[in-house]
Amino acid sequence: ETGVTQSPTHLIKTRGQQVTLRCSSQSGHNTVSWYQQALGQGPQFIFQYYREEENGRGNFPPRFSGLQFPNYSSELNVNALELDDSALYLCASSKVGGNTEAFFGQGTRLTVV
Amino acid sequence: GNSVTQMEGPVTLSEEAFLTINCTYTATGYPSLFWYVQYPGEGLQLLLKATKADDKGSNKGFEATYRKETTSFHLEKGSVQVSDSAVYFCALSVDSGTYKYIFGTGTRLKVLA
């Protein structure tokens, strides 16, 4: 059973650019959620995807968007990057109807300069 | 609204000392409660969980009991090891069917040999 994998592990972008982060769900999972973890803080829920549709969203602006693919992998897209977007972005997968916990990847460290 | 409050760190202990990390919550409905651990440079790992009042979650010597009357879910371990050094996050989930977790700010634990 493979775990949740994210790519890339690190990247640096310039303010105003766009970025795409990728996540492969754990085998057998059908739901993916994304979190932003600023330095020294707890993760903040961005949104969740199930059956390729967004079915829950936190307090993040529309420039944060996502996709879920038929194989349950997912992308997080952030447009018009701001300095405050610098953070660790975590992907978590889970299975609707399964256990209640989500399994997290190791994250992508995004630095906006 | 829903929220989680954790004791601030860092918590510094000697090996074999007793550990308590306090966590209290505010939630509508009947939340599930979790403790996650984050080792340096890694994502989050589920440590233990409890889904209803009076449940006790346990794993690797760590325990936490879901106390509805005091809205608490304190993490305890009888004898810590240097390898337990990490950041510990308390979290709750109130939305069944989604995996929107609300995390505390985390408590850093340092165990000295």
Find the range with the poorest average confidence among B30-44, B55-69, B91-105.
B91-105
3-state secondary structure of B81: coil
* pLDDT for position A62: 96
- CB contact residues (below 8 A), chain A span 24-53, against chain B: 31, 33, 35, 40-45, 48
The Cα B13–Cα B110 span in angstroms is 6
Tell me if A35 and B98 make a contact (CB, 8 A cut-off). Answer: no
- A21-60 tens-digit pLDDT: 999 998 888 889 999 999 989 999 999 998 899 988 999 9
- CB contact residues (below 8 A), chain B span 3-32, against chain A: 4, 32
* pLDDT for position B40: 86
Q: How many CB pairs under 8 A join A and B?
A: 62
Find the range with the poorest average confidence among A50-54, A88-92, A108-112, B52-56.
A50-54
What residues pair up with B88 in beta bridges, in sequence order?
B37, B107
Instruction: Please report, for residues B13, B14, B60, the alpha-carbon distance to residue B79 in angstroms, rounded to integers and kept in the order given.
Output: 10, 9, 11
The Cα A109–Cα A95 span in angstroms is 26
- A91-101 tens-digit pLDDT: 999 887 656 67
- Contact A100/B at CB under 8 A: yes
